[in-house]
Amino acid sequence: MSIDVVIPTHGGWELTERCLRHLAAQTVPHAVIVVDNGSTDGTPRRVSAVAPHAVVIELGANLGFPVACNRGAAAGTGEVIVLLNNDVEARPDFLDQLVRPLQQDEHVGSVAALLVQPGELTIDSIGLTVDRTLAGFPRLRRRPVSEAASVTPVLAGPMGGGGAYRRTAWEQVGGLDEGVRFYGEDVDLALRLRAAGWKAGAAPEAVGVHLGSATAQHRSGWQRHEGGFSRGYFLRRYRVLRSSAAHRALVTEAVVVVGDAILSRDANALRGRIAGWRAARGVGPSPRPPGEAIDETISLWESLRLRRVVYAG
């Protein structure tokens, strides 16, 4: 299958260079599309020296992860769209292994890669899992790599930083929702693909080392606001507060917002949720995902624990 690898960037040239060099060693042909969100370190002009055949799209400003990925996907023609963070170092057979579930089953619309933490002993994620309030979490984070093939928790779809999408499936649902700038857009895409009837697969043999969020300050006020924005936006789009999960969602969000305010001594998480809720006003509802895409075994307390794990990296 023909493959387009889309890499959104915003600074961090050293990471991008390493990512491109690892892609150059892949065992299968592919196209590389770098979409630059207004880097000031010369990323666009530097790409050609490392990846002469790469397509570079300059957005001129930081328009957000969904916009960058959508523009990159639209610029390609490959049967498979691979989204890859610039801080992921892919093993030589990464792409080969990643597309195999798509080749083996025409009903699979997306595939999650195995992203591991430096040292390659611990899982960073192998796709996403979703609780009944439609909150998404990295699957198997902090678990040993030996557990990467586990069928639990339920796989909803790939993480946006390391996953493959069948182009026909991507185009059917319209790609990523540009109503948010960062966070939660991969969960939403996974759920819309499942609602459209596509299956999600995992490729534990497709291994990439995730060096971490090295281009952004961990748990900064900006991050917490943007994370809250996406949560408020998708709570409204999916009509979660009108569902049977409404009470749990309200309790969970209250605990998270209060806890964040105590720890950070600001109201960024709350302000973000309010802004996201308002931004979703007038936007059509998203289709409810099928039950098999949701892990009903994730309890309220487990979901709060998973949130702590995400915050802790």
pLDDT of residue 120: 95
pLDDT of residue 46: 97
Write down the pTM of the prediction: 0.95
pLDDT of residue 54: 98
Q: Nearest Cα to 35, choosing from 79, 67, 3, 2?
A: 67
- Bridge partners (DSSP) of residue 3 are 80
Q: What totals of helices (H) and strands (E) does the chain contain, helices first?
A: 10, 11
Enter the tokens of residue 50.
Answer: 């490392």
CB-based contacts of 107, cutoff 8 Å, min separation 6: 197, 198, 199
pLDDT of residue 217: 45
Burial class (CB in 10 A: 0-12, 13-18, 19+), 276: buried
Task: Provide the pLDDT confidence category of residue 311 given band limits of 50, 70 and 90.
Answer: low
pLDDT of residue 312: 52
Q: Nearest Cα to 69, choosing from 192, 207, 162?
A: 162
pLDDT of residue 212: 79
Task: Provide the pLDDT confidence category of residue 214 given band limits of 50, 70 and 90.
Answer: very low
Average confidence score pLDDT of the chain = 95
Q: Is the pLDDT of residue 18 over 90?
A: yes
d(CA 3, CA 59): 22
pLDDT of residue 160: 93
d(CA 47, CA 41): 11
CB-based contacts of 187, cutoff 8 Å, min separation 6: 128, 130, 134, 135, 136, 156, 157, 234
Q: Is the pLDDT of residue 216 over 70?
A: no
d(CA 12, CA 45): 14
Beta strand segments in the chain, E = 3-9, 31-36, 55-58, 80-84, 88-90, 108-116, 123-125, 128-130, 136-138, 162-166, 199-210
Placement of tokens 């610039």 in the chain: 86
Average the pLDDT over 36-60 and give the result: 96
Q: Nearest Cα to 162, choosing from 110, 215, 234?
A: 110
**Please, what are the domains in the chain?**
1-313 (3.90.550.60)
Average the pLDDT over 16-43 and give the result: 97
pLDDT > 70: percent of the chain:
96
d(CA 17, CA 44): 11
Hey, what amino acid is at 98? L
Enter the tokens of residue 177.
Answer: 């929702």
Q: Is the pLDDT of residue 159 over 60?
A: yes
Enter the tokens of residue 141.
Answer: 């984070």
Query: What is the per-residue pLDDT across 193-202, written as a single tens digit (0 to 9) for each?
Result: 999 999 999 9
Query: What is the per-residue pLDDT across 74-133, written as a single tens digit (0 to 9) for each?
Result: 999 999 999 999 999 999 999 999 999 999 999 999 999 999 999 999 999 999 999 999
Query: What is the per-residue pLDDT across 261-293, written as a single tens digit (0 to 9) for each?
Result: 998 999 999 999 999 999 999 999 999 999 999
Average the pLDDT over 33-49 and give the result: 96
d(CA 293, CA 155): 7
Alpha-carbon distances of 253 from 17, 66, 178, rounded to whole Å: 39, 24, 23
